[in-house]
Amino acid sequence: MTQEIEIEFKNLLTEEEYLNLYNDLSFDSVELIEQTNYYFETDDFKLRQLGAALRIRRKKDSWTLTLKQPHPDGLLETHDVLNQEDVNQWMINRPVSAPYVQRQLRELGISLDELSYMGSLMTRRKERNYKNTTVVLDHSFYFEKSDYELELEAGSKETGLKVFRELLKEYHIPERKTDNKIKRFYNAKPQSD
């Protein structure tokens, strides 16, 4: 499947809140997933202006190019699987064909040759099932920063929001306006002269 709708809720956490959730929900018993996102954008930030984002994610030895676009129910994600040589070309600003993502980019009026590599964000992730949703704890590192985040993925907005708010209330965590990782990445990116 090359496209999916992602329904998720996010909240930044303090280190103490992160550790409370980690311990109380037994995250120590689930596998640690390390993943790195490599972000791409046009020089004039066309993707960001459209509310979209483009990344290559490395997870173990697999590489997936993903375009995220706004959708009424969450985010529309379009994927292409890449190999190591494809990734090498993308990293030196010579993007190779990725048919599904490329088709979506064309609809946005963006060609591959407009894209440039902007940097990376590494995440140490733990995830587990919780009340018919998936609860994710992330510790992310980018530039000279790190942050802690709770994500809750659900099959519907209604279920997700209900479980998300119950979880925050139970652990006395204030609901915080939380930008997605790519926005936090760009906000932290040092400005070049």
Q: Is the pLDDT of residue 192 over 80?
A: no
Q: What angle do CA 84, 128, 183 make, to 5 degrees?
A: 55
Instruction: Report the distance separating Cα 122 and Cα 26, nearest Å.
Output: 23
Residue 193 has what pLDDT?
46
HSE-CB for 115 with a 13 A CA cutoff? 30
pLDDT, tens digit (0-9, with 9 covering 90-100), for 56-99: 999 999 999 999 999 888 889 999 999 999 999 999 999 998 99
Q: Is the pLDDT of residue 189 over 90?
A: no
Interval 21-31 mean pLDDT: 96
Q: Is the pLDDT of residue 1 over 70?
A: no
Residue 4 has what pLDDT?
87
Tell me how far apart the terminal alpha carbons of the chain are, to the nearest angstrom. 42
Average pLDDT, the chain: 95
Interval 120-142 mean pLDDT: 97
Q: Which residues does 179 contact at the CB level (< 8 Å), separation at least 6?
A: 187
Interval 154-167 mean pLDDT: 96
Q: Are strands 145-153 and 133-142 parallel, antiparallel or unpaired?
A: antiparallel
Residue 72 has what pLDDT?
86
- Which amino acid is residue 46, in one-letter code? K
Residue 113 has what pLDDT?
94
Q: What's the whole-model pTM score?
A: 0.90
Q: What phi and psi values does residue 123 have, to the nearest 5 degrees?
A: -125, 135
